Chain A
Amino acid sequence: MNQRPSNHPRKSDSSSGKQVRDRLVNECLDSIIEGDAGMARAMIRASSEIAAGADRDVAELRRLMKPLSKVPNAPDLTARILAETHRRRPFLPCMTRHRISVWRVALAASFLGLITGGYLVSESWSSPISDDLSASNAGGSTGPSTSLASVSAAESLQHSLFESFDEAPPVVVATAPLPKRRLLSLGDVDGFAPQRTWKPSEVQTDSVVASKATFSTPIEFGGSPLRSSNFELVSAHGPVSVPLSGRLWVGGANGSLLKSPPLPDWLLTGDRYPSSRNSWGTVSPVWELPPTDSTLLPRLDLGRLLADPD
């Protein structure tokens, strides 16, 4: 439809004349619909040379398009529409709708408050447990506050200690502190594990066992009897007696820990223990740096304990 201006020299062939006429017809029809028919017709008359028959074409095209202006008879969908609308959003007075909205907001707020309250209550219940832990540590000093206290009672936890001495990984010590001091749960251990950094150390472990535990006999690791001289369970907070109600099962190539209600924290030390990456996953690293001399820690003779478990 790109047309040269009318005064521009051009070939007066029939096709270009037809194009101009088509354009005039279109312009005329547009003008009629847009309400300016007089201008269109005046334009056609003014260009009478090239617009011969354009008037007729306009009339013809209008007649051809006339059926299109008839809007088809539509089925009455009113009932269906209103029913569906009412189903999705009932026709209610503004006041009623407003009341419903207020009720919904109030309900949501109370639900949110309930959840928050429940969370706060659960938080406040967990604190006394750690207090009990601290209190039960006779002679407890300024020890770490983290523990496995939030582990529920009588929840069984199995951990492989190691496969054999030969397969034991290097002696490691947890050096990364907790992100913040808080109670540990079993779930925390998994989340925390990747953040741990380990490095070889003379000290076997500084992990804290928060468990009510006793030890069965005989204790063997990887088929070898426990070298009690290198293996000690020491209190994290001072010399206390090992509680006897819980049990730490150790036997064969693997050892496992059966948890009981939380009791004072314990450190397990020794030159080749623990050796499994998973063994002490539930043990919270309480020291930011390993103790340089494990003998400084309060110790408990595990051999003596095992000799008389009751």
Chain B
Amino acid sequence: MNKGQELKLVRKAAAGDRDSAELLVRSYQGSLYGYILRISGRPDVSEDVVQEAFVRVLTNLDRFDSRFRFSTWLFTIGRRVYFNMREKKRPTYDSEHSDGWRDSSEPGTGQIDRADTVGVCRDVIQAELMRLPADQREVVVLFHQHEWPIALIAEHTGLPVGTVKSHLHRARIKLREWLLHRVETPGVETLKFQEAWR
């Protein structure tokens, strides 16, 4: 979806058009969910954050600044919601203090089928991502998963460009070391990882 289409949808949704709002949700819920899932490692947390972020965005569409991309705005709000929730519900929402994706493998009580999500969460790279410090993890996810430019990541996270670069470089070195270690170590997870790698 290009910026023009996005803006059109936003305007219509702000004017009370439910279909446009639905299209916006369908277009961006996946990427937001993936972002939060990667930085939190928790599918249940990600669902809560995605829902709350979208609700906040949709109820405040008239405040949307058309100079920016909708996705950037959405991710900023999602990030804020996640950090707020993590602060309020620590340690429940804090992936640093939980088993993260392992805990989330239990079937959900809602109507959401999490089978695919759990499968992805259990991949090795997610496990290694969770070993990274939170700020490095977020930078890696935004850069490699969402392919955001470094300048945009810096703006989004409120960090200087140089800091973002150094986070990125350090995280890559660590990930490379850990992932290569996994590849060289035989085991079920390694097989999965190699599967995903191909």
Q: Which residues from chain A sit less than 8 Å from chain B, CB to CB?
A: 1, 22-23, 25-26, 29-30, 33-34, 60-61, 63-78, 80-82, 84-86, 88-89, 91-94, 96-97
Contacts and interface: CB of A to CB of B under 8 A. Distances in A.
Interface in B99-157: 112-114, 116-117, 120-121, 123-125, 129, 140-141, 143-145, 147, 149-150
A97 B117 contact: no
B137 to A, nearest CB: 11
Given A26-B169, A71-B34, A82-B22, A94 B116 contact: no
B191 interface: no
B166 interface: yes
B54 A81 contact: yes
B31 A71 contact: yes
Contacts of A96: 16
Contacts of B120: 70, 72-73
Interface in B49-83: 50-51, 54-55, 58-59
Contact of A26 (B15, B37, B117, B168): B168
A73 B34 CA distance: 8
A84 B59 CA distance: 10
B107 to A, nearest CB: 12
Given A67-B125, A93-B15, A81 B55 contact: yes
B29 A81 contact: yes
Contacts of A97: 16
Contact of B34 (A61, A64, A67, A72): A72
Given A30-B165, A69-B145, A81 B51 contact: yes
B49 to A, nearest CB: 10
B1 interface: no
Given A30-B150, A65-B172, A68-B140, 18 more contacts: A1-B166, A25-B172, A30-B168, A33-B147, A34-B150, A60-B180, A65-B125, A67-B124, A67-B125, A67-B193, A70-B196, A72-B34, A74-B30, A75-B113, A77-B47, A77-B51, A84-B55, A88-B59
A78 B26 contact: yes
A78 B29 contact: yes
Interface in B11-30: 15-18, 21-22, 25-26, 29-30
Interface of B: 15-18, 21-22, 25-26, 29-31, 33-34, 37-38, 43, 47, 50-51, 54-55, 58-59, 112-114, 116-117, 120-121, 123-125, 129, 140-141, 143-145, 147, 149-150, 165-166, 168-169, 172-173, 175-176, 179-180, 193, 196-197
B34 A29 contact: no
B197 A67 contact: yes
Contact of A92 (B16, B34, B114): B16
Secondary structure at the B interface, as helix, strand, loop or mixed, is helix
A91 B18 contact: yes
30 contacts: A22-B169, A25-B172, A29-B172, A34-B149, A64-B125, A64-B176, A65-B144, A66-B197, A68-B38, A68-B125, A68-B144, A70-B196, A74-B29, A74-B30, A74-B34, A75-B47, A76-B26, A76-B29, A77-B25, A77-B47, A77-B51, A77-B112, A78-B25, A81-B50, A81-B51, A81-B54, A82-B58, A85-B59, A91-B16, A93-B15
Contacts of B50: 74, 77, 81
A96 B117 CA distance: 41
Contacts of A77: 25, 29, 33, 47, 50-51, 54, 112
A175 B179 CA distance: 88
B85 to A, nearest CB: 15
A74 B35 CA distance: 11
A31 B18 CA distance: 40
Contacts of A70: 120, 196
Contacts of A68: 38, 125, 129, 140-141, 144-145
Nearest to B13: A91
A34 B29 CA distance: 24
Contacts of A75: 33, 43, 47, 112-114, 117
Nearest to A26: B169
Contact of B176 (A30, A61, A85): A61
Contacts of B117: 72-75
B23 to A, nearest CB: 9
Contacts of A65: 125, 144, 172, 175
Nearest to B112: A75
A38 to B, nearest CB: 17
A92 B58 CA distance: 13
Contacts of A84: 51, 55
Nearest to B28: A74
